[in-house]
Every structure is written in structure tokens, then in C-alpha cells.
Structure 1
Amino acid sequence: MKLLILCPVYALFLYTVCVFGDVFNDRNNDLCWEGLGKSDEANMCQIKPFRTDSAISIRSEQQKVKELRNDNLTRHTIQNFRLQFLDIPTGDDLKIHELQLENELLLFEAFSGLMGYLLPGEFPIGAIRNAFRDTDSSHLWIFQVIKLEILVVLWIIFWAILSLCLPVGVMVFFCFPTNMRRLNEELSNDSLDGTRRTTEQTLGRLLHVLLILMLFPVILILAGNEEISKSISKAPLSVTTIYDDITTFIRNSNMQISFITTSSTDIALEAIRKELEDGETFLGQPYQQQLTSETGLDMALASLGNLKNETSKVSSIVSDLLGECETAKKAGKALQDEIQEMTRQLVAIQQQCTANDRPLCFTIQFSGFDITLPLNNLTTDSKIHELDRIKKNDTLNKSIDAARKRYSNIPGQLVHESTAYIADIKSLLSRKRTDVYKSTHELDVLARTLTEEVNVSQKAIFTILENAVKWDLWRWLVILAIGALVLIIWSFLICGAPCGCDVTSKTIPLLILGISLSCLISPIIWALGTVTLLLGGHGRSFICHPLYDHPNYGILGEFLDRGGILYEEPEFFFDFSSENDSVKIANVLNGCQRDQTAYQTFHIQNKFPLNKKLNYKTWDDLNTLMNNFTKAKFEVEILSTSLQINLQKLSLASAANLTDYRLQISSSISRWDLASFSDQLNSVGRQLEDTVIIRKMDNLAFSMRKLVQTEMQRLNDLRGRILYKITSLEVLLPTLNAQVNQSLSQLETIQIFLDNQGSEISQKVKRQFTDRIENHLEELYSYTTKKVTKEIGKCRPIWEIFHAGRFHVCKLIFDPLNAIAFASFFLILVFIATTPIVVKLIDIYQEGSREGGFSYSHRESRAGLLSDDDRIWTSPSSGSLEEREMINTLPTTWISPPPRPPTVASHVQPTRNPQPPTITYTRSSPRPRSKLSGLASRITGARSKTPQRRETLRETLRLIEPIHWKSGSTTPRSWI
């Protein structure tokens, strides 16, 4: 309710002030009315104090509020002003992701870890440094290397001994066989045969297990070989991609940095140039507005315009007044002449009167009819003439126009006096722009130099890789041949390994061939393992460990940093380094891994210092020039000497007092009434006797009456107009005088303020102008620094390139090499474990072969278990007569077997002359038999399946017959 009551009161108050106060700024009138509903805008309304004759108040509290708000608005405008910079091109795309290294399967990484236990745990940086600097003798350096690699040397020697022990042991076994022992024919042989059978089965199972284990290193060798071959074959493409990406990264980074610096500099400096050239808008007008807000100069000049109009109006009235006064003087003089003429005529008529009429004629008194219109005092007044000269000379108007022109020319005058400073600022900014372009040109030269170095390195590396690819084919073939040979050995052993079936004639040769080849290939595999261990293990320790030493990369720093082994002076990144700042490889890799910008990571500020080139705060010459420009004095003269003199004259002239003149002029023109005098003439004439005199009297009265109606009336009209103008001047001159005094007081106060505070205002406005320029420069520096140091030229591709290179070398080459080394040594171990088993199996099979030709048949004949279903032995039909006779003469221990039991049916062949025994096989239906006989039957049957085995058996029998047969002895019936 209180608010509803106060709002109309507040509105009425504002209305009253706006209407009667004459104090509002025209620019803020709308805000005043809108302030009824908006308190913030209402506060901006400025009410200036009423103009009085006293000195005006320059700094009221409301003006201070306005000044503070204007300052805030100025800062807000400067802060919100943003230059429109160009979009940054992205550049060419990188191809490192086309390698698709993330899809690679890391199958061999674990083997590098296993083989790494043999190698030195610490990088021998001291020994390498001494080797490069030749500080130690060769013998001492070799001793240090051996001491460092003692475990590797012992490992290689150990496996060399193992690989040589294998062929030596097999050679001893085959070259010095034990004498064949005769088999006892006791019943205990059955248990020995069972143990042998169990041993054979156990060894067979172990052999199968070892053969299965043998496949693992073989597959590992072949897989590692293929992985290395694939990696080396892809190495030229990968290296080309890596170097192309490095070149692309250099080109993109240089392009983006150069583009952002040059384009942004051009945009910012062009905006500054336009503002410098349009100084009236950005410098002069703000200064003029500031003067207006501080002094009310616009209102003072506006009042001068009103004063000019009022003065012109008063001057016109005065001129008209003086003119009418002159006319009135002339009319009064003419009227006076007419009256005097009539007076002469009256005197003449009186003299012509008759004696009778003479007393009556002389009763007419025409004295005192002088015209009295006191205009001389008015027309001779200097103040009135001064007011009249103002219009004629027009000096006041010219001085007022000059003051208003000087006020309107304040922006141009300020710009004109600042021309030298503005020209110096433009020249300095042009030089700074040239410096930026020179720096970008140096950056271009650096980029071209780096690109050339990259191209040279690419050509050298590519040539090496091409040769490596050519030679890698032979490496691949050698390892493939070794793997194929191992597979052949594995095939021989797996074919000769017992599988639950009967032993064939190829079993022993296959086993012998397999074990022989394994003995021959063991040194080759040892050599393969040694070479791959030396390459892969040392590559992992001396190359991969430094490459994966995140985040320190100390070994790389020892080689590549300033004072390092390879780049003692200058360092690897000497193109980006300076005397006081060096680029460390660890900082580069860590920064690129965190996707920092190239400018920050590679310390490009050493070659292109943004802070020096674009930070205006470091430009001492610009700061000095700005300070000189700001502190330069600028004087504004609004109240000139001529204007002051004219206003003072006008003030004096307008102080004229016209009341006396008006009162004087307001008095009667004559002391007597001429109309009454005319009536008197007519009355006297009617009383005269002389008709002539009467007629003359009537004519004179008529002329007098006519004079009154014409000339006197005209003079009265002139007097009335004069009185009106005097009255108007009496009304206007005090107002004009007050206005003149007020304007003069205002202008004097303003001029005093300008003389004392004008320089401060100009400095303030110039500071705002320079702040605007500095804001553009600050925006340029902030934008460019933000983009260059945080957004563009991200060096993550360098990290990806580095990671791709180390991944390709370590994971795809060194890890497979270590896997091959592990597989080689493991394969030797498998060979060592397999060889005794195979040798034992060969021994068992050979013993079985010898027993199969003699003991088996002997025991069967003694037990009387042979039947016609068994195999039939006959004398060999081959051989010469001398051989048979020699056999018959040899002693024998053969005892004829007893007759066969009658329960067993036998088919006896007719008696015939003994012939050389031949072996024929007939298989009857199976019947129960002993384990030994069954084993012998299987061995004999298995070996007699082929002609080659039959021939071998004949040769065995041919050796047995001379020992066991007597000449002329009776052979068993089953052998006939």
C-alpha cells in the first residue's frame, strides 16, 4: 500500500523536475521516465543543478555516480569486445593408426621376461661412456664386458656342453656296443621278458610325451620365425609411415603455429589501425563526452545559442527603436515646422484684423505649442548603441559560433595534436608485425631443416631396411630349414616310437636315423639359440628397457641429452635448445604422452618466443610511447578573449535602464492641445466681422485640425511604438542580462576547470583509448598463447610414433627372437631327455630281434608245444656243397627233441635229404600260448611280413646253424 502511494508522488516529483528544472540531460530523458519502473536505470538519470549567477557545481554526487558508471561501462565494453579470429586448419591426417599395432597378438612377451633373467639388470652406461670416450684400455673394457656378461657366457657354455654331450654319448653307444649275451633257457626268462615288455611300454609312453613336448619348441620357433619375417617385411612400410607422419607432424605444427600467429596478428593490428585512423570516434568523441559530462559544456554552449537568439532579438528591437526614434525626431521636427508656419500665418492674420476685431483677434494665444518628444537621451545612450552595434558588427555571434565550433572540433583537434603519437604507434606496431613474420619465417626454416634431416634419415634407414629384408629371407629360410629338419626328426621318432603294434623292420632304422639327426642338429640349434639370445636378449636389455623406462628414460637421456654419449655437444634436440635451456628426451616423451603441444614440449619458445613477440607488456618502446601519448597536454579554449569581451559588453549593454527614457517619452508632446486650439480659431472667427479674416481663420483652423489628424497622429503612433519597444526592452534586457551573466559565469568556470583539469580528463580518455589498444594486444597474446601452448600442434602423434617404433622393434622382433632362443634351448633339453629313451628302445628292439631267431623256437621244441599250426622250419635250400660239408663237420650240441605227444596232430613230411633251412610261414587259428611265445610270434610275424625281413632272418639262421647243428643229426619233424 505504501508503495502504491509513493509511486505517484515519485512520478509527480520527476515530472515537476523535468518540466521546471531545466536540468536533465537530453540523452538521459528517456531513461528518467523509464526509471519509474526500473530502479537501476533511474539511478543513471542525472539532474544538474539550476543555473545561477554563481559558479556552477562541476562535480555533484550524481555526476560522480555517473562517472563511475561510465568507467564501468567503458571497461565492460572493452572486456566484452572480442576480435573475430579465423578458424585454425587441422592439416593433413596422420597414418600411424593404419599400422593397427593394437591388433597384434603379443605371444612372445613372456619369453623375453624369462630370458631377461640371464642378462644384466642395469644398463652399463659407464662402460659404454668409457668406450665412446676411450678413457679405458681395450683389455680393461673387455674385462668389464665379460664381468657384466658372465652369466650369459656361462649359460652359452653350459648349453654348448649339453649340445655336444648328446652326439658324443650316442656315438659312444653305437661305436662301442656290448657283447651279445646268450639268453638262458631257464624258466626265469619268462619273468625277464615281462619286465622288458613293461620297460618298453613305459619308455614308449615317455617317448610319446617327449615327442609331444618337442612340438612346442618347434612350433614356437616357426611362429617366431614367421613373426620376425612378417615384421621385417613390414618394416619398410612401417618406417615410411612413421617418417611420413613425422614430416606431416612437423608440417602441420609449423603451419598451425604460423597461421595462428600471423593471422591473429594481422586481425588485431588491423583493428588497432582502424581505431587509430578513426581517432575522432574512439578518442575525440569520448573526450568530448567526458568534458560534457564533467562540465556541462554542451548546456553552456546551448545557452550561448539561446543567448545568441535573444541577443539578436533584443538587438533587432534596439535597431528598430533607434530607427523609429529617428523617424519620430524627423516627424516631430516637421510637425514643429508646420506649427511654426501656422504660428506665422496666425500672426499675419492678427495683424490684418480690423480695429474692431483686433482685440478679439489677439485673444488667440499660440505660444507654448512647441513639440517636446525627448528622444535624444535614448538615442545617445551608449548601451543602446552597443546593443545596436551587436547586430551590425555580428562580433558576438561570430565569437559564439567560434566557441561552438571549437567545441565541435574538439575530437578533431585532439586527434590532430595526437597525430605524431598515433603515427609512431602505427609504425611501431608495423615493426612488431614484421618481427612476427620474421619469426614465423625462422620457424619455417627450422621446419624445412627438420624435414630435410628426417628425409635424409629416412633414406638411410630405408636403405638399411631394404638390405635387411633381402638378407632376412636367408635367415627365414635357415630357421625354416632347422624347423623342418626338427620336424623330420620328430617324424622319424614318432614313426619309430612304439604304438602298441608289432615292431616293424623300419622301427630301429627310423629311431636310429632320428637320434642321429638330432645329434647332428643339436649344435645347430645351440648356435641358433645362442645367436637369438645374444640378439634378442641384449636387444631387450639394452634397447627395449631404455625405451620402456617410463617416465624417467634415464638411459635415453644419457645418450641423447646435452652432455650425453652420442650428443655431447649439441644434444639431440639442439634445433630447439638454447644456451640456457636444453630439451630433454624424457620431458619430450612424457609431454607427448600427455598430449601436450609441440610448442611447450619442444621448447619452441627458444626459436619463436611468443612472450617477446606478442606480449605488449614486454614492449618497452610501446609502453614508453603510450605513456608519452597519454601524458601529452591538450588544452581546450572554449571561452576565448573575444567571446569574453563580447559577453562582457553585452552584459553591460543589457544592464541599461530604460525606465527614465520611457517616462520621458511618455509625457505629452506639446503643452497645449492643438485640436482645442483649432476650435478656438473657429470660435474667434465666427465672432469677427471681417469675412476675409473669418475665412482665413477657418482655413487656419482647418489646417491645424488636419495637422493634428495627420502629423500629430503619426508622431503619436511613433511615440507609441517607441514606448512599446522600450517596454519590450525593459522586459527582455534583464532576462538577457541574467542569461549573459550566467553564460559568462558558466564559461569562465568551465574554462577555469579546463585549464586546471582538462589535461587530467584528456589523460583519462587517452588512457581509455590506449587501454582499448592494449586490450586488443592482450586479446591477441592471450588467444595466440592459449592456442599455441594448449590447443594446436598436439604432439601425441610423436608419442604414438615412438611407441609404434619401440613396439615394432621390441614386441615384434626382439620378443620372437627371445622366444626362438628359449625354444632352442628347450629343444636341446628335449633331445637330451629323448635320446636315452630312444637308445634304450633300440637296445630292446635289437635284443628282441636276436631272441626272435633262436630262443623262441628252441623253447617251443623242448616243451613239445609245436604243432602243425606253428611255423615250420626247414633246412635252407641254398648254399654250396662245400658250405654244407663244413657245417656237417662242425661239432654241435643239438639234442633231438622228444617225440611229439599223440594228442597233438601233426603233419609229417616225407623223409628227404637235408637241405638248407628255409622259413615258410603258415598261420593257423589262434590258440593259447605263453607270453614269451606270443611275443616271439609277434616279433617274428611282424618281421616276416616283408621280403626284406625274411632275407634278414635267413642270414640270422645261417649264422646260428653252424653253432647248433651237428653233421648228420636228425632234425625235428616239424623242421623237415
Structure 2
Amino acid sequence: MTQSSAATMQQLLALTITLYLTVILIGIPQVQGASQNVNNDGNITWADLPEGEAYSARSEYDEGAFPLPTTWDLIDGFLKLISPAPPPYELINDAIGGQLDISTLTGKITEFQGNLMGFAICFVIGALFVVIFPIVCLCFCCCRCCNNCGGKMYQEQSDSDRCKRVCFAVSLVIITAVLAGGIGTAYSVNSFMSTTVDTLPEDIIANIDDILAYVNNTLGEITFLVDDQLGWTLDELGGDLEDIGTLVGEPVRDQLNTNVGPALDAVYALSDAIDNTYDAMNQVDTTQNLLDPQWVAFRSDLQAVHDDIVADCGTCGCCGGTYPDESGLTVLANYRDLSNGGRYPQIAVDAALPDLLNIKNQDLSAAADVGKQSFEDIPETLKNTTNDAITDILNTLDQLKEEIPKLLNETESQLSGLDGMVEPYKADINKYGGYIQDYDMYRVYAVYALYAVFCLIVLLNVLGMMCGWCGFDRDATPTLRGGVSNCGGLTLMSAVGISMIFATFYMLFTSLTFIIGGPIDRLVCDPVVSRQLFTETVDQEDAIVPGYYLGDTLFQNSSIPLTVTGILEGCEENKGVYEVFKLEYFFNVSELLDFNQRLGIEEGGSLTDLFIPDINDQFTNISGDFSSIKILTDDTRDILNDFKNSPVDTIDWTVTKAELEKDLTNEALDPNDLSVYAAQLRSFAETLGSPDQATFEGHADTIDGLQTTYVAPLLASAAQMVTEIETLETYTSSIDTSVDNTLTAADNAQNYIDNNVDGLVTSEVVKYADRILGYPEQFVEYALEQVTTEVGRCEPIANLWNSATRILCRNLLESFNAIWLTLGWCTFFLMPSIIFGVKLAKHYRIMDYEDSYDEYLTPQEMEMAHLSQQSPMYPASNKVAPGHV
């Protein structure tokens, strides 16, 4: 390989490497994705690379229909037969390495025997044929003109003539068929080559378009990685940075809630207890206020009825009778308050209610809401107090975002002009391809003309044999054969003459085309197509330079196992260019993405150190100020203490409840149902005369009225009041304990917050940093996989190579080689065609002389007849042989 070609390859490879280096260099700090990406709590599911443009070049070689595959195999087999030795790879290696000179070449000339001796022998044979065959034909023609070598129009007859004629005819038929097969093969090859020429510009342009599409697809994949994927991830990363309250504050709050929640719930429960206690005591007092005047009125009215009955009994003299005892018409239960000598603790209730109302009006629930809100605001507090640190990180990201378009635009600018660069070449290909297609018709005509002679010979042979066979009469003597038979013989002799005229020219043309195409096919195309040329030369370790030649040429590192065969096989498998071209030796992606090494971080450095050099300090600053979080404010605590110290829980309701549960009156018949006494009083009234009867019936009606107006409502209100007092007692019985427990729980929760919030925040910040910094790590892993295995799948390169070898070595060179194969084939079979044509023509043509035989002639007479037949004195028209009567 010349220095200029090596430099060109290096430039092309460097351009390719630039594409991938851009991806990796940009991919070091961040990550990216497309709309198909999924961010599942910091774990990214990446989208696939874009499909890109489809490739149009044919990837498979079409050998054509029969007999073309057989022809190619025949050419390859023949060339391998005459040149069995492989090419001189050592000399090629010396030539590539610049160590070949004339002395070395001449010193190893004997090593070429296995390569060139067969070609030389075949060429010499062809040259001898060109020299000898005309001489032989000339001698043959001259001798026949002198009636020698079968030129005399005389055919010796024998019993085996029929057998000879059949054998000659069959042989000539076979030879003619072989000639026709060679002609048909030649025309098939000619058509195949025409198709190749017709599609040549299209195939070349298709391969060029595929390479352009390959570059554009690769650039599209890089753009996808750098622009789409990276932009998406930067948005995710920035969004997470701005959402620190949710990602850090909420987990901290949730963990604190295990202690803070119960404390806040206890405060809200006490707030409800205060409200319920006040409502219950107020209800008891309200019921008492309704009960007291009713009780006073009832006692007054009951006493008045009692006095009236006593007075009327004294007037009517009923004391001597049996009437109901009025002494039970007095109030037993005392529902009045203590201030009036009763059993209800009105003074204590009046003292407790204002305190409870004051405590209730202070709204413990609202005060607790303040503490709860400060707890609920932990995410917002964290976001507000860490705004500066987050802003620093976002500024770093903004700087990186500004660099991405620069790097990408630089890469795009290097490749954007490729389409324009190749357009003139594509135009030239179409232009000159049109010229080739236009002038290819002359090649087609030349081939037609070249093989037209063979067609003529085949046609003459066929016509000659058909005429000879159709016009032949086995009963006719050689001198009496018909005209059709004679025409067949003359036609065969015409084919013989034409064969003699053109055979030398064809052999000369065959030899020249053979000596040109054969060695190129065997010594160049065969090893190139089979790739043995590369495996034995540039691909072989230590064959040209110590190590690998391509690694030394392209990377200046001969230890890189880069081979042409490996490149082609990898591209045929459609692998990524990074893997195929061993670019890890040029720039190792894994080492390139080693953050510690690139950023100079010592072993044992923090994960946050892997983002940017000062990121650790930036995340350390994310701590937040949570001193404002108070589960119980001072006002809330005062309310609880006031509630605890209120007299509401000191009131003794035992006497009051006992009084409320007593019988309302002293009536023996039914202390709580005066209607029983009223009924007895009516019965007594019926024993009296008028007007006393009416008087006592009036007293009975009054007592029934008291039962309805006072007794029933008082008893119902007393029972209600007992229930209300019991409800109140359930609230007041646990006031001290509830308040103490709530204060304890609140203090414990506050201590837990004060002592643990910073640690929890730090722990969550570490998780948060891992999440944030997990984006570049995931991108690097993703980009590494894409770059090393997916980006730049190089099947078009293999297609380009296969297409070039197909067009040059298969379509063009083997079609060219088919010319000498079919020409040599037909020329070779012209010789047996000449021989059998001459032999067979003797059996079809009209002879001037013939033999006359009689089974009664003696041997001596037969000999004399033979001699006389040879004499000009006995012409062939004499139907009777000498001596025969």
C-alpha cells in the first residue's frame, strides 16, 4: 500500500472516528433520551436508535441462469487446474513492505512455476496451433488438389461402410452439438454482460447512495444520542433538581411522620375533647337551667294542692272518713343548685364554663394547624433553603447544554457537504455510463460477428448431415448418388473449409484473451474474492511488519489486530463500526468514560465526585433549615396547660346524680305518678255529697294536671341530665392524662425532628445525588452499548466491497474469460469437426470412380479390376468392372 493511499485511509477513518468521539465526549457529563424513553423513578428505559434511510444496493451476487453458473465453475476449475499454486504471497508482502527489488524478484522466479507455468504452456500450445494449423491446412488442401489424402473422387467400398457412415454422422452430430453449446454459452454470457453494463451506473450510484445513506444514518444516530437522548435526559435531570422538595423533602417528611403524626393526632384529639367537654358541660348547665324553675314551680303548686286538700277536709269534716293520705304530696328530690340549698354544683359549673369557653375560643385545632403546616412544608422549606445550591448545579448544566450544539454542529458541518461532493461524480457516472451503454452495442455486435462463423459452421454441418441423411440411397453406388446427398456432402466440405480458414484466427484471439484474463482471474480476483489475498498478506501477523499491518498503518500501533478480512466479515454481519474497526484501540470508550481517571478523583472518592469536580461540595450544601418546624407552638402548649388546670375535672357529680335518680315525691302509692293518688281522690269524692264532691274532684283534676305539666317533664329532664353528666364525666375523667400524654408525644416528636431531620435529609440527599448522578451513568452505559454495537452498522461497506468485486471480477472479468473459454472450446472442436466432416462427406458426395465387385470373381480378377479402376482408361461411368460379363 502506497503512502498516499494509506494517508487517505487514515483520513477517512479519522473522520469516522470523529463521529463516535463526539458522542462519547458529550456523553461524559450527561444523558439523553427521546419521547419513547421512560423514566421509572430514576431508572431509564432507553429508546431504540432510529431506523434511518433504507439501503438500495444489492447485497447478493446473481450468477445468472443456466449455463452461466456452470461456465463460471468451468473457468475456475480450468484455471485452478493449470495454475494450482497459490499466488506468491511472500513477494506481495515484500512488495507491500517495500523490500522487493529486481534481484529478489529474479532470485525467486522459480517460485512462479506453479502459478504461471500452466498459463505459459497453454499459451505456447495456442501459439503452436496458430503456427502449425495453417501449415497443416495448407498441406491438406494442396494434397487434395493433387488427388492425395482422399482428394480423389473415389470411395473404396466395403461391408463396413454403413457402420462407418453412422459412426461418422453420430460423432459429427455430437461435435456439432458441443459447438452449438459453446455458441449458446457465449451468447448467454454476452447477454449477461450486456445486463451488467446496463445496470452498471445504477449499481455504482446505488452503492454511492448507500455510503451517503450510511454516513447520514450514522450522523442521525449520533444526533439521536447527542441531541434527542441527551436533551431529554438533561430535562429530566433539571426537572429532578428543581423538584428537590418532592424527591428529598417528601421522603424526609414521610419518615418523620411516624413520630410526628401521632403527636399531631393527639393534639387534634384534645382539641375535639375541649370542644366536647365545653359542649357537654354547657348542655348540663342548660338542662339544669330548664329543670330548676320547673322544679320550683312544681314544688309550689304541689304544696298548694296539699294545703287546699287539708283545708277542705277540715271544712267538710272528711278527716273522720277514709280518704287518701295527702301527706305524701311533698317533693322528695332536690333538683336545685347549691346556692339555693339544693344538690346541683352551680357555683363550680359557673366557674368552669368561662374557663372552658376561653380555652375553646383559643382554637387549639387552629394552633395545631400551624405546627402541622410547618411539618407539611418540609419539602417547600427544603426547596427554598437549598435554592442557591440547586441554582449552582443548574448553571453547570446550562453551560454544558451550550457546548452540545457546538460539538454536534461541528460534526454535521464536516459531513453536510458530502452530498454535494459526490453529486458531480454521480453525474459523471451517469454520463460515462451512458457512453458505455451506447458503445456496448458494438461489443455485442462484435461478439455476434465473432461467433457467427461458428453458427455458420454449425448450420452447414446440420444442413449437410440432414441433406446427406435425407438424400442418401443405400442401393445407389457412389457414382450414382442423388443430388440432395451430394449437396449434403458439399455442405459439409464447406463447413470444413470455413473451419480451416477461421480456426487460426480464433485460436490467436483465444490465446491473447486467455493470457490476459486468465492470470488476472487466478492470481488477483480469486484470492481477492476468497479474501485469501488478505489473510496471507496484510492480515497475517508479522508478515509485513512486526504485528498487524493495518493496525500499524492506520493507528501506528501494530499490536491492534485489525484485518481486512475481519472488517469485511464484521460488516457482512452488520456489526457496528466501532467493533469492526477495533476503535477501542484508538480511543477506548471504557477508559474514556472512566470519570475517576478523567477528573483526577482518587480511589475511594464519592459518587458525587464523578459528576463534576465541585459537585460534592454542591450537594453537601443541600441540607435545608428546619428550625422553624414546631409541633406545638407556645400558644398551643399554654392552651393545653390551661385545659389541664381548668376546674372542670374537679367537680363531683356524685351527689347531683344521686339526687336526680331519687323519686320525685314522697307519695307512697307511686312517687313518680301522681295520677294514682288523683284516682283514689276521685273515688273518695264520689262518697261525698254536693258540693264537697265537686271540690275534691277539682283537687283530683289539679293533681292530674301536675303529673302532666311537671312530673313527666321533670323526670325526663332528670334522666337526660344524668346522661349528660355521665358524658361530661367521660371527657373530664382523662383530661390530665390526655394532656400529659399529648405533651409528652409532642415533645418526643419535636426532639425526634430536632435530632434526626438533618440526618434524614443527608441520607435522602445522598439518594437524591445518586439518582441525579445515575442519569449520566445510565447514559454512559447506554451510549457505550450503542456506540460499540449499534451505531454505524456497516453492512453498506460490505455491500460496496462485494459489489465492486462482483462487478469487476464476476460480471466483467469472468464474462471476458468466457470469451476465451467458449472460443477455445469451439476452436478445439473444429478439428474433430473437420475430420469427421471430411470423412462423412465422402459417403454423401457423388464419386467419379467406384469399385465393382462380383462374388464369382477370382481374387486375381478382383485385383485386376481394382487396378483397372485406378486407370484413367476406365472411367467411373463404366458400370461394369473389367473382366465382368
Structure 2 length-normalised TM: 0.58
- Establish whether residue 587 from structure 1 lines up as the match of residue 566 from structure 2: yes
Are the equivalent residues in 2 in contact too, given 1:637–1:751 (CA < 8 A)? no
Deviation at 1:455, TM superposition (A): 5.6
Q: Secondary structure at the match of 1:219?
A: helix
Show the counterpart of 1:637: 627
Deviation at 1:551, TM superposition (A): 13
Change (3 A) 1:800 1:504: same
Show the counterpart of 2:136: 169
Are the equivalent residues in 1 in contact too, given 2:577–2:794 (CA < 8 A)? yes
Show the counterpart of 2:56: 95
- Establish whether residue 412 from structure 1 lines up as the match of residue 412 from structure 2: no
Superposed CA deviations along residues 194-230 of structure 1, whole A, max 9, x for unmatched, are 6778766654553443233222222222322232232
Are the equivalent residues in 1 in contact too, given 2:39–2:45 (CA < 8 A)? no
Q: Give the residue type in structure 2 aligned to 1:819.
A: A
- Establish whether residue 159 from structure 1 lines up as the match of residue 158 from structure 2: no
- Establish whether residue 224 from structure 1 lines up as the match of residue 193 from structure 2: no
Show the counterpart of 1:279: 244
The unaligned stretches of length 5 or more in structure 2 are: 1-37, 280-351, 473-480, 597-606, 653-726, 862-870
In 1, Cα distance between equivalents of 2:488 and 2:551: 72
The unaligned stretches of length 5 or more in structure 1 are: 1-76, 184-188, 317-383, 663-727, 864-892, 898-918, 922-927, 935-976
In 2, Cα distance between equivalents of 1:162 and 1:436: 75
Deviation at 1:566, TM superposition (A): 14
In 2, Cα distance between equivalents of 1:202 and 1:83: 86
Select which of 102, 110, 116 maps to 2:73: 110
Q: Give the residue type in structure 1 aligned to 2:611.
A: D
Select which of 114, 120, 124 maps to 2:88: 124
In 1, Cα distance between equivalents of 2:558 and 2:360: 83
Q: How does 1:671-820 map to 2 (within 5 A)?
A: 738=737, 741-774=740-773, 794-820=793-819
- Establish whether residue 421 from structure 1 lines up as the match of residue 382 from structure 2: no
In 1, Cα distance between equivalents of 2:365 and 2:445: 113
Q: Give the residue type in structure 2 aligned to 1:112.
A: I
Select which of 506, 509, 528 maps to 1:524: 506
Deviation at 1:292, TM superposition (A): 1.0
In 2, Cα distance between equivalents of 1:195 and 1:313: 144
Q: Give the residue type in structure 1 aligned to 2:83.
A: L
Deviation at 1:414, TM superposition (A): 1.2
Are the equivalent residues in 1 in contact too, given 2:130–2:505 (CA < 8 A)? yes
Show the counterpart of 1:485: 453
In 1, Cα distance between equivalents of 2:187 and 2:171: 25
Superposed CA deviations along residues 641-668 of structure 1, whole A, max 9, x for unmatched, are 9957994997599569999999xxxxxx
Are the equivalent residues in 1 in contact too, given 2:460–2:492 (CA < 8 A)? yes
Deviation at 1:413, TM superposition (A): 1.8
Deviation at 1:511, TM superposition (A): 2.4
- Which is further off, 769-778 or 116-125? 769-778
Are the equivalent residues in 1 in contact too, given 2:249–2:382 (CA < 8 A)? yes
Deviation at 1:243, TM superposition (A): 1.8
Change (3 A) 1:116 1:191: closer
Change (3 A) 1:215 1:566: farther
Select which of 606, 609, 625 maps to 2:615: 625
Are the equivalent residues in 1 in contact too, given 2:207–2:799 (CA < 8 A)? no
Q: Give the residue type in structure 1 aligned to 2:136.
A: G
Deviation at 1:930, TM superposition (A): 7.2
Superposed CA deviations along residues 639-698 of structure 1, whole A, max 9, x for unmatched, are 769957994997599569999999xxxxxxxxxxxxxxxxxxxxxxxxxxxxxxxxxxxx
Deviation at 1:814, TM superposition (A): 3.4
- Which is further off, 190-199 or 469-478? 190-199
Change (3 A) 1:579 1:772: farther
In 1, Cα distance between equivalents of 2:360 and 2:490: 150
Change (3 A) 1:195 1:163: farther
Computing the radius of gyration from Cα coordinates, the structure with the larger value is 1
Change (3 A) 1:487 1:661: closer
Q: Secondary structure at the match of 1:499?
A: helix
Between 1 and 2, higher relative CO (CA 8 Å, sep ≥ 6) is seen in 2
Superposed CA deviations along residues 559-606 of structure 1, whole A, max 9, x for unmatched, are 9x998999968868x8xx999978644334323333435565456887
Are the equivalent residues in 2 in contact too, given 1:557–1:584 (CA < 8 A)? yes
In 1, Cα distance between equivalents of 2:744 and 2:163: 139
Change (3 A) 1:167 1:649: same
In 1, Cα distance between equivalents of 2:445 and 2:851: 47
Change (3 A) 1:80 1:929: farther
Are the equivalent residues in 1 in contact too, given 2:156–2:850 (CA < 8 A)? no
Change (3 A) 1:116 1:283: same
Change (3 A) 1:930 1:565: farther
In 2, Cα distance between equivalents of 1:931 and 1:765: 133
Deviation at 1:540, TM superposition (A): 5.2
Deviation at 1:514, TM superposition (A): 3.6
In 2, Cα distance between equivalents of 1:244 and 1:97: 12
Superposed CA deviations along residues 301-344 of structure 1, whole A, max 9, x for unmatched, are 4445566788999999xxxxxxxxxxxxxxxxxxxxxxxxxxxx
Q: Give the residue type in structure 1 aligned to 2:79.
A: G
In 2, Cα distance between equivalents of 1:96 and 1:734: 95
Deviation at 1:162, TM superposition (A): 2.8
Change (3 A) 1:747 1:544: farther
Show the counterpart of 2:345: none
Q: How does 1:148-297 map to 2 (within 5 A)?
A: 148-175=115-142, 202-293=167-258, 295=259, 297=260
Change (3 A) 1:162 1:207: same
Deviation at 1:255, TM superposition (A): 1.9
Q: Give the residue type in structure 2 aligned to 1:511.
A: M
In 2, Cα distance between equivalents of 1:119 and 1:458: 39
Q: Give the residue type in structure 1 aligned to 2:135.
A: V
Deviation at 1:258, TM superposition (A): 1.9
Show the counterpart of 2:326: none
Q: Give the residue type in structure 2 aligned to 1:151.
A: G
Superposed CA deviations along residues 498-545 of structure 1, whole A, max 9, x for unmatched, are 824446489559726743553543343343354146325523542244
Q: Give the residue type in structure 2 aligned to 1:444.
A: E
State how many pairs are aligned.
658
In 2, Cα distance between equivalents of 1:197 and 1:549: 58
- Which is further off, 436-445 or 235-244? 436-445
Deviation at 1:775, TM superposition (A): 5.7
Deviation at 1:110, TM superposition (A): 1.6
Q: Secondary structure at the match of 2:249?
A: helix
Show the counterpart of 1:953: none
Q: Give the residue type in structure 2 aligned to 1:410.
A: I
Change (3 A) 1:658 1:494: closer
In 1, Cα distance between equivalents of 2:595 and 2:96: 45
Structure 1 length-normalised TM: 0.54
In 1, Cα distance between equivalents of 2:83 and 2:265: 99
In 1, Cα distance between equivalents of 2:104 and 2:527: 26
In 2, Cα distance between equivalents of 1:463 and 1:569: 39
Q: Give the residue type in structure 2 aligned to 1:94.
A: Y
Select which of 517, 521, 532 maps to 1:539: 521
Q: How does 1:889-900 map to 2 (within 5 A)?
A: none
Deviation at 1:483, TM superposition (A): 0.8
In 1, Cα distance between equivalents of 2:772 and 2:576: 29
Are the equivalent residues in 2 in contact too, given 1:96–1:800 (CA < 8 A)? yes
Deviation at 1:485, TM superposition (A): 2.1
Are the equivalent residues in 2 in contact too, given 1:436–1:613 (CA < 8 A)? no
